[in-house]
Amino acid sequence: FPVKDSMYYPMAVFTGNSLARVIDLCITNMEFNKKERYPHEEYVRLLLRRQSLHPAPPRPILFIGHSMLRYWHTFDDDMEGFPAINRAFGGSRAEQTVFWYDKLVKPYHPRAIVYFEGANDYKTGVPVKIFTAHVKTFIEKAHADFPDCKIFIISPDIRSEKPEYNAAIKKMIQQYKSFVEYIDMEGYKQKMGEENYRQLLLPDHTHWNADGYKRFAPLIREKLKAFKDL
């Protein structure tokens, strides 16, 4: 069967087994593309199993984003006193956070969301406009479902290589300033200086070490404490 020629033929010419093979091929390609774009299904299942064993508190403060949050091994201790849960998954991009929203965000009815994406979008070449559009979609989905939910957007952890990512996010969230708060991690890092910041990274020069999380956690707690209903 000349698959490479099928795109030029009207679907009506395919009948019986030929049509079935075309449909099977299309489904296979769709499933492959989906797995390529959203490769986190196994880890998401693990998060859902964890939820069944250790139910989240009602209306939690939900953290979601990439591996900087996922590898936060002292999360429970650092967020003590807050009804916080961590649903981050490593390697994620903004588009994937939107894709898994219905499983990792919506069921929890969060009172607040702490969102951290951008580094993997930059590394995989996602254009700034596309990245910003995905963040916007996430914000609007969450606000539509939970109008009283406060959303904290942590500035993308890209250092100085791509400042337009942070600039675009800061500009975009101005329209949501009544319920979206910006956590300026980039500004904090600039105050520290590049050399000092490097001391907070693992040998991979990407993820925080234990000292990095010790510096990071108080910034989040300070923001959360500013809102009495959290």
Contact (CB, 8 A) for 151 and 139: yes
CA distance 87 to 117: 13
Burial class (CB in 10 A: 0-12, 13-18, 19+), 78: middle
Q: What is the pLDDT along the chain (230 residues), one digit of tens a residue?
A: 343 333 333 444 445 555 545 444 443 344 434 455 566 788 788 878 877 788 899 999 999 999 889 889 999 999 999 999 999 988 899 999 999 999 999 999 999 999 999 989 988 999 999 999 999 999 999 999 999 999 999 998 765 566 888 999 999 999 999 999 999 888 888 888 878 888 888 888 788 889 889 988 999 999 999 876 66
> Domain 41-225 falls in which CATH fold?
Rossmann fold (3.40.50)
**Token pair for residue 69?**
């949050």
Handedness of CA 58, 98, 77, 219 (dihedral sign): negative
Q: Which two tokens stand for residue 5?
A: 């020629």
Rounded to whole angstroms, the Cα distance separating 63 from 115 reads 6
CB atoms within 10 A of CB 47: 18
| 166-172 LR contacts (CB < 8 Å, sep 24+) | 166/118, 168/128, 168/129, 168/131, 168/132, 169/118, 169/132, 169/135, 172/132, 172/135, 172/136
Residue 32 pLDDT? 36
